[in-house]
Amino acid sequence: MTQFLYIEILAGADLVMTNSYQASIGGFVEHLKLTKEQSYDLIKESVKLARTACERYSKEFPNAPKPMIVGSVGPYGASLHDGSEYTGSYAKTTSAETMKQWHIPRIKALLEAGVDLLGLETIPCRVEAEMLVELLKKDFPEARAWLAFSVRQDGKSIAYGENFQETARHCYDLNPNQLIAVGVNCVAPRLVEPLLSGINKDRKNPIPLIVYPNSGESYKVELGWIDRDKCEPVDTYVQKWLDLGVTWVGGCCRTYATDVTRIRTEVEKWKRNRAEKSHQNGQCCPK
């Protein structure tokens, strides 16, 4: 894992995520037969692995910016092993309190181990998103996080069916001081623009946006990743997303170090083009 993260950093990543997306105390106790204490420490170990990769990079490139470590916090549905993080179906039968108690120790472990940010990701339903945002405010007031949703193929709804833009605005407004961004992940690149277009129209406090799509393939529990023929080069969309106001961009499932490099290249191109346009218009170049 450390070597994989190191390669991602070399490819141009400014941050790395811990391998803790599905990790939970209950899951490790049940399936690995660990104690609760051992399970807690194992989640913290994911942060140590990421830190080792970052320290190696900093040692070899001492003048380069130090990569940030983001603690991956996947949804409750990821622990059910039925693909429900892509549907949110568990919201029908699982209370917000049950989800909360499942999340608390894993978030606590990641923060205790020293992550720079939390990535609340692939969240499929509004009830879990609201709970997580409120949980940060109440139990982890010093933490910063982004909130990324899993979505449907219609270009307007999160996975459980609620309107994406309404849900995103609501969740951000619940806790703008701790949320550094709201957006989508593990989504086909072609769906990003319709989801985000107009989300900040007429807002006095624009929402910082994050996008890290998959390759365009689909995941089926019984088959794994399918629709290889629908793969899309993520980098071809990057400049348009930046034009929409996206401030954090990357890749999720089925994207690799080569994609990171290409994304980085497109970001740098966009920044240069913007600076040139500002110069031509006689404006100060934004940093």
Q: What is the pLDDT of residues 83-95, one digit of tens each?
A: 899 999 999 999 9
Spatial contact of 209 and 169, defined as CB atoms under 8 Å apart: no
Per-residue confidence (pLDDT) for residue 25, from 0 to 100: 96
Domain count, the chain: 1
For residue 191, tell me if it sits in a domain: yes
Q: What would the DSSP string read from start to end of 226-264?
A: E-GGG---GGGGHHHHHHTTEEEE---TT--HHHHHHHH
Task: Give a yes or no: residue 22 inside a domain.
Answer: no
Examine residue 58 and state whether it is found in any structural domain, yes or no: no
Q: Is 193's pLDDT higher than 60?
A: yes
Write out pLDDT tens, residues 165-177: 999 999 999 999 9
Residue 150 lies in a domain: yes
Query: Confidence band (pLDDT; 50, 70, 90) for 233?
Result: confident
Q: Does the annotation list 125 as a binding residue? A: no
What's the rounded mean pLDDT across residues 136-162?
Answer: 97
Q: What is the pLDDT of residue 209?
A: 98
Is it the case that residue 256 has pLDDT exceeding 90? no
**Interval 22-35: pLDDT, tens:** 999 999 999 999 99
In this structure, what CATH number is given to the domain that contains residue 113? 3.20.20.330
In a domain, 41, yes or no: no
The pLDDT value recorded for residue 102 is 98
Residue 19 domain flag? no
Residue 228: its pLDDT value, please?
65
Per the domain annotation, does 209 fall within a domain?
yes
Residue 54 counted as an annotated binding residue: no
**Beta-carbon count within 10 A of 19 CB:** 17
Q: 252: annotated binding-site residue?
A: yes
Q: Quick check: is 51 in a domain?
A: no
Range of the structural domain that residue 115 is part of:
71-280
Query: Cα–Cα distance between 85 and 96 in angstroms, integer?
Result: 15
